[in-house]
Structure 1
């Protein structure tokens, strides 16, 4: 017993000596100018809704201070990536039915957008780590373990993309409006890009480490074929007579030349030029359900390409087809000059031809719907990025940066100075001028045109009246913003067909996108705060930041004071409405009264959390990770 007491006394003495040594070591570090660690770095935990801490508290003393710059820690980038993994897992676990091959609660076009988000997210996960397959799979090597985990996750969710290809109701979408059709084109071309990039990055062309081909390449012809079929269906909607050009929204209704349909046509056209791999299938794919349609033979004959186009296996539609490029150029020329933007530089919804249903000889677009949606500011961005790469015309990039800056200012963002315009040819013009308080007046805490408190917001968000359409919009914006800010290639991807940027232009584009990073992070943080206990995102990201949120939620939905004059919100409605410009009736499923009332969680109102709101969360968190990842390099490319 005596020995045991003596042992305990010695143990306590040793512990006291150890604590004294640690205290002395800490004081010595501080006396030498080294700051003692004050707080453990944040780590990601699924149940912790506030684990993300992006701002680095201390700026290094040798780093110049810039008012418009933000600084981020490596932990911020890591946490953003973990949040992206979690957001994607929730979307696919909670909303995707593998055996049906679809998001069962989505509508046709929003499902196509969800497919786009999955493929884009897999691209981000793919380049989150450098590795070569098959690798050694040595559990003692951290890189091999991480690579296997990422590869398994990518294969898991790519299998969802494969099943969605067969689960997509492609015949129904072929009979819908042209914008619905074009979402399909963008979705499958996104999948083609992902397959190419993942295979090129992780499967070497030859040698002992691999056979040079990821198994997913076998699906490229099928994906490309569907993209081509749907593109050709939409292409028929362009005409030069009405409104001097543009793609009509819906061929079965009175003419409506709207922003989203034409932006989709521009982006789809340039994607077909840059990424379409060709198609040696001369006939549209018709499934058993399609052939059961009473009019399928006529539709098949209408869509059938000339059989002479493929007698010897020549692709029915070649890569880098100049027709696609011409369509994109003509589409943007028309959109830019038709007068589709308001005083804030934001795209409004579109143009009717006044009284056309009485007088078909009228051709001028003279009845503009002033409604502003977030996705109308987004889809064009990827189109402008592609137009630059296909033509080398820097004006396309400058137009894109100007639109992004207009959007940021229209959310009431004042935390960092962002100049209203940027020149990619004159470095001196790129520097931020002194803020002009009269240039972009923002009411304190008030609505700024497309949001408040720096958070992108749909006009229906505060009222809980967003339809499934409206639930999808913000995610679409952030997806295309991320595409636009992808670093410019410094050498042409295909000489004679595409262009590369000069080092100066590439650097200025990169610096401009760096300026948007704090705003992107701010929006992603706001979106993350809307998650419920299952990790599902809500749609009103700004609810927590708005001190008047509950008061706004009590406003009568039919008297939304944020909707501008001469605006008709046909995308979101509580009941059946009729468009005064076309006379068309829009039928929406009315919201149940029990879902309209205010609850403890403002994001439970209306349709609550949906696969579309989750897709928005995936897109904005992906944007955060991509912007932070690129931001790490500072001014270096």
Structure 2
């Protein structure tokens, strides 16, 4: 879809910008906290996902600052519920893909190691929903599949028992045989005490995350049967989990089973998770399901009509202007319109960030002064710059390359040993990379730059 329909792309970009701007009203920039209907247990991860999408498309450092501050707050957080860990894990993997900063990958690997503790032989395998070990459900295992397949490509590719590829294949083989995918190609909520499909609600998010997991499994195995299986599940969802557009003009609009009565609490963000992963499926295999692009566009149009007022955002129902707007409902809308905008720009990246590069040591800077580092590039192309630094408190700097400013007020979180990464174009040969203090910070908020990694 890249490059097609410039007018449509402009509309999609503007919708994404406005949707995320409204979402950020639930973000606290001083603390990094997201205020959501379920506290900070898991829904902030979906808000972060939406911001990552917009940052990938725009490379606007303001969105990177939100990701950095969110990470500073939620890094190291562990839950009694394994699916909560899975949401943050996958959000940090997306942040790693888009920034190339290894701190996100390190945290994702640590979360994955914790999730493996939930696997045992009850029901033949699979992860428990929480540490009480009373329920094996779909979403926890779908998130684990998505994470394992992603980590195989991003954290080295050794094979064998206990490695990421092994976990991905074990998880999918177990999930596919568990019976949670019913005869209608819909994913029910989990297994009952006898290890059979419990007939639980076919929530949209259970139909969604599995799509992303199967796309990643296809990427690491080359087996297109995984894409075919994903399309079966997607087709069932877009055929059944819908309401007709009340205008009668655009088609079917995604809805939760029993909506509107049951679209509360956790469920308020579920639709966004489904469309996020439907966009991933379409981006990976656009020729396999052109109807998915129409479905995404139709829903984006409906959401934009249903927004209650531009400043109030989107509520839980995508066919009508009603219900309370909160971080969950707005994140769902942002994942939809941001996903459409990202498809116009070529879709989510499937490239793994490079790990090898050149490290430039930086001499101590008296009083945290401005600093310029001379670096060499073997080719004219985009490079990832990773700054290692120390700062007593949060501070910002302007980033320039060869005298041209590329990022204004880039955030450096207050820490004794931190990193922040940004992608810039370098030309073949010698380049200068500069960090400059805004005049408002000239005599305060010192930053000590220790090294610069160029990849």
TM-score where L is the length of structure 2: 0.69
Q: 1:111 aligns with which of 44, 50, 63?
A: 44
Pair 525,188 (structure 1): closer, same or farther in 2 beyond 3 Å: same
Structure 1 residue 413 displacement after superposition: 8.3
Provide the residue aligned with 1:84 in structure 2.
Answer: 16
Q: Which has the higher relative contact order, 1 or 2, with Cα contacts under 8 A spaced 6 or more apart?
A: 2
Pair 124,403 (structure 1): closer, same or farther in 2 beyond 3 Å: farther
Deviations 1:403-460 (A, max 9, x none): 1111111145899xxxxxxxxxxxxxxxxxxxxxxxxxxxx999xxxxx951111135
Provide the residue aligned with 2:142 in structure 1.
Answer: 263
Q: Would you say the 8 A contact 1:453–1:542 is kept in 2?
A: no
| 1:338 maps onto 2:178 in alignment | yes
What is the number of residues matched between the two proteins?
Answer: 337
Separation (CA, whole Å) in 2 of partners of 1:222 and 1:445: 47
Q: 2:218 aligns with which of 384, 388, 395?
A: 388
Separation (CA, whole Å) in 2 of partners of 1:82 and 1:161: 20
Provide the residue aligned with 2:31 in structure 1.
Answer: 100
Structure 1 residue 629 displacement after superposition: 5.4
Provide the residue aligned with 2:340 in structure 1.
Answer: 624
Task: Map 1:197-216; keep pairs closer than 5 Å.
Answer: none
Separation (CA, whole Å) in 2 of partners of 1:336 and 1:401: 15
| 1:612 maps onto 2:340 in alignment | no
Separation (CA, whole Å) in 2 of partners of 1:536 and 1:414: 22
Pair 445,617 (structure 1): closer, same or farther in 2 beyond 3 Å: closer
Provide the residue aligned with 1:458 in structure 2.
Answer: 256
Bigger strand share: 2
Task: Map 1:508-547; keep pairs closer than 5 Å.
Answer: 509-533=285-309, 534-543=311-320
Task: Map 1:68-79; keep pairs closer than 5 Å.
Answer: 73-79=5-11
Separation (CA, whole Å) in 2 of partners of 1:630 and 1:408: 23
Q: Would you say the 8 A contact 2:188–2:206 is kept in 1?
A: yes
Provide the residue aligned with 2:202 in structure 1.
Answer: 372
| 1:328 maps onto 2:163 in alignment | no
TM-score where L is the length of structure 1: 0.50
Gaps of 5+ in 2: 348-455
Q: Would you say the 8 A contact 1:517–1:627 is kept in 2?
A: no
Pair 77,614 (structure 1): closer, same or farther in 2 beyond 3 Å: same
Separation (CA, whole Å) in 2 of partners of 1:409 and 1:385: 21
Q: Would you say the 8 A contact 2:312–2:325 is kept in 1?
A: no
Q: 1:483 aligns with which of 264, 276, 280?
A: 280
SS in structure 2 opposite 1:462?
coil
Q: Would you say the 8 A contact 1:517–1:628 is kept in 2?
A: no
Structure 1 residue 628 displacement after superposition: 4.8
| 1:473 maps onto 2:273 in alignment | no
Task: Map 1:391-410; keep pairs closer than 5 Å.
Answer: 391-410=221-240
Structure 1 residue 528 displacement after superposition: 1.2
Structure 1 residue 224 displacement after superposition: 1.8
Structure 1 residue 387 displacement after superposition: 0.8
Provide the residue aligned with 1:494 in structure 2.
Answer: none
SS in structure 2 opposite 1:455?
strand
Q: Would you say the 8 A contact 2:242–2:255 is kept in 1?
A: no
Structure 1 residue 467 displacement after superposition: 3.2
Separation (CA, whole Å) in 1 of partners of 2:93 and 2:5: 34
Pair 230,251 (structure 1): closer, same or farther in 2 beyond 3 Å: same
Separation (CA, whole Å) in 1 of partners of 2:327 and 2:173: 35
Deviations 1:504-528 (A, max 9, x none): xxxxx32224221111111111111
Q: Would you say the 8 A contact 1:274–1:386 is kept in 2?
A: no
Pair 348,535 (structure 1): closer, same or farther in 2 beyond 3 Å: same
Separation (CA, whole Å) in 2 of partners of 1:629 and 1:158: 18
Provide the residue aligned with 1:121 in structure 2.
Answer: 54
Structure 1 residue 269 displacement after superposition: 0.5
- Choose 1 or 2 for highest CA Rg: 1
Pair 518,253 (structure 1): closer, same or farther in 2 beyond 3 Å: same
Provide the residue aligned with 1:156 in structure 2.
Answer: 62
Q: Would you say the 8 A contact 1:514–1:627 is kept in 2?
A: no
Separation (CA, whole Å) in 1 of partners of 2:43 and 2:75: 12
Deviations 1:332-367 (A, max 9, x none): 1111111112343110000121xxxxxxxxxx4036
Gaps of 5+ in 1: 1-71, 127-153, 197-219, 277-318, 354-363, 416-443, 447-451, 488-508, 544-600, 632-637
Task: Map 1:416-455; keep pairs closer than 5 Å.
Answer: 454-455=252-253
Task: Map 1:162-201; keep pairs closer than 5 Å.
Answer: 162-168=68-74, 170-171=76-77, 174-196=78-100
Deviations 1:275-314 (A, max 9, x none): 23xxxxxxxxxxxxxxxxxxxxxxxxxxxxxxxxxxxxxx
Separation (CA, whole Å) in 2 of partners of 1:401 and 1:102: 36
Pair 250,369 (structure 1): closer, same or farther in 2 beyond 3 Å: farther
Q: 1:249 aligns with which of 121, 129, 141?
A: 129
Separation (CA, whole Å) in 2 of partners of 1:351 and 1:445: 39
Pair 445,329 (structure 1): closer, same or farther in 2 beyond 3 Å: farther
Separation (CA, whole Å) in 2 of partners of 1:334 and 1:101: 38
Q: Would you say the 8 A contact 2:33–2:73 is kept in 1?
A: yes
Provide the residue aligned with 1:575 in structure 2.
Answer: none
Structure 1 residue 614 displacement after superposition: 0.7
